[in-house]
Every structure is written in structure tokens, then in C-alpha cells.
Amino acid sequence: MIVVMKPSATEENIVKVQKHIEALGLSTHLSKGSDVTIIGVIGDKHKIAVLQMNSYEGVEKTVRITEKYKLVSREFQSERSVIDVRGAKIGGRELAIMAGPCSVECEPQLMEAARAVKAAGAQFLRGGAFKPRTSPYDFQGLGEEGLKLLAQAAKEYDLRVVTEIVDIADLDVICKYADVLQIGARNMQNFRLLQAVGRTDKPVMLKRGLAATITEWLNAAEYIISSGNDDVILCERGIRTYETFTRNTLDLSAVVAVQEMTHLPIIVDPSHGTGRRSMIAPMSRAAIAAGADGLIIEVHPHPEEALSDGDQSLRPEQFAALMEEARRIAEVMGRKI
């Protein structure tokens, strides 16, 4: 259920409604928009079913949300969320561009990549320090040393760090260096991890699972937000189908569906979505045209030497060319980079 407060409702009215709800053993989640304040009610559905709030001063109406996901739904918040990451907006008019290598390998590699993506117009530096790999014998990342290099490169080139967390045990150390916590596809339904990042003050980028439905994806986002963290970004990175030409099947229809179903911003990962360098630029252009709020792209100064995902990494000059194309399409869509 959501309780919609009148525009004239005072802070005292809002607090009184929250206290009444919480006294019944239910939880509340406050969302203040530009025109209206909404109080989300979470907890025992039997208690919610008999909850009557319309008589309280300042309450305009109550609305029962039918979807299993509540706080991420458009019913809870009609305005689209805009997430501010140290001055860079995700979900607003400006497209968020996240770029960098799949894995942090060494200082020269990362610094060269960071310099290139910044020059081309990216606001975020992506890079893996803890890498979950299909094979246990593949490169697993540099750990905290990789995080330090990310922070160093981000400071040098005025970028924000996006990096993946795979284990709750690493949360504190990653939060020391990262601006955005990435939840990878394989961890989309790692509910304890989702709740843990939900208790931080770091924005979270939630990638869609390998074979997850959109509803399952949004319910995973609900775990994060219901734990206290409103700053969630969705990332479409392709799903597993019977097709073998591409690494995954990039579902750009999910961009439109998500924007109808939720207020959360959504970005697209054409690198993992296709697994093919030649397809990254075309699918990036299509993602912007579909209305995505940004892109996350793998860029490596020497893809042929990459320790992971070299085949789906752009060279710096290719990324720069893509960004020029992306600017023109963004302008047509009323957006900018």
C-alpha cells in the first residue's frame, strides 16, 4: 500500500501517519517528490489489508499496489528517479557513460584506459577488481590493489568508480574506493548480498540475471530499496537464449518495459550483451534510440592482450568514434552527453 499525502500536508502530518503505521508493526518508506509526498507501507499483508488511513489529517488517499515489487513501481513513484553520483546524474537529460576495462590488470593499462574514456566524454570508470569467472582458472582480479588503482585513476581524471561486488565480506573495503556498487548477473538473486548493499549509502547498479524475467529483476531491486537504499540503477546486459552467434541476446525491449513499470533509471551493456566488438557500436546507438539512460562499455587500450573479455572490448579510438555517433543520436532524442 501507499499513502498519498496532500500537497498541503505538514511535516507533522507526515510523521504522525508514519508513527501510526509503524506502531502496528509495519515498515514505512518515504518518497518526497516535487509535488507530492508518498509513504510506502511494507510488511504483513493481513495488517495492510485492514489498514485505514484516509481519516488522518494531510492524507489525500491510499492506493493498494498489486505488484509484488512495491517501492520500485511507477504506482509508488510516478516521477522517474535521477541518481546523483558526485555531480554526475543517472536518469536525467544527460546520458551516463561508464567505460573502462573488464578487469584492472596493472597501473599502465588502467591509466591509459581512464585517460582515453575521459577524453571521449565518459563520466564513470568501470573496472573489475574482484572478477567472478566461469572457469576457476581464469584471471580473478587484483582485489584491493585493483580498487586502489581504480581510485587513483578516477582521481587523476575526474571520474567516478563503478566496480563489482561478489561477496558480502568485501563490502567494506569496496565501499572505501567505489562510487557505484555493481551487482553482476550471476548475483542478481543473491538476496543476502542485495540486502547488504541496500544498507549502504552507495548507489547500486543491478544487472539483469542470465535468464531473469523483468519482474524477477524488479523484485531483486526491491530487496535493495526495501533495505534502505533508494539509489538503484538497472542494467540490461543481455539474457541467455538458444542463439549462439552472440554471447547473449541483448533485450532492448526491456528498456521500454522497465520505463513503463518502474521509476528507476536503466542503462545498457552492449559489450556483455553481444560479446562481439563489431556489434557494440550499433547496439549502443540502438540503446540510446530506445530511451536508455546510459551505456556501460568495455574499453581496453590493447584488447588483444586483455586478461578477460578482450573480444568484446573497444579500442580507445573506436570508443571515441562511438561517442561522436552517440552524441548525435542523443541530441535527436532530446538528451545529451
3-state secondary structure 247-307: CCECCCHHHHHHHHHECCCEEECHHHHHCCHHHHHHHHHHHHHHCCCEEEEEECCCHHHCC
Q: Is 324 helix (H, G, I), strand (E, B) or coil?
A: helix
Fold adopted by 2-63: Alpha-Beta Plaits (3.30.70)
pLDDT on residue 137: 67
Residue 34 has pLDDT above 80, yes or no: no
DSSP string computed for 117-140: HHHHT-SEEE-BSS---SSTTS--
Q: Is the pLDDT of residue 133 over 70?
A: no
Whole-model pTM? 0.89
Confidence of residue 48 (pLDDT cuts 50, 70, 90): confident
Q: Three cell numbers at 160?
A: 567516478
Instruction: Return d(Cα 235, Cα 295) in angstroms, integer.
Output: 9
- Classify residue 200 by burial, with Cβ atoms within 10 Å: 0-12, 13-18, 19+: buried
Domain range 83-332, CATH architecture: Alpha-Beta Barrel (3.20)
Look-up: residue for cell 520505463?
259
pLDDT digits (tens, 9 = 90+) for 255-301: 999 999 999 999 999 999 999 999 999 999 999 999 999 999 999 99
Task: Tell me the C-alpha to C-alpha distance, in Å, between residue 174 and each of 48, 151, 170.
Answer: 38, 10, 6
Domain ranges of the chain: 2-63, 83-332
What is the Cα–Cα distance from 52 to 321, expressed in whole angstroms? 58
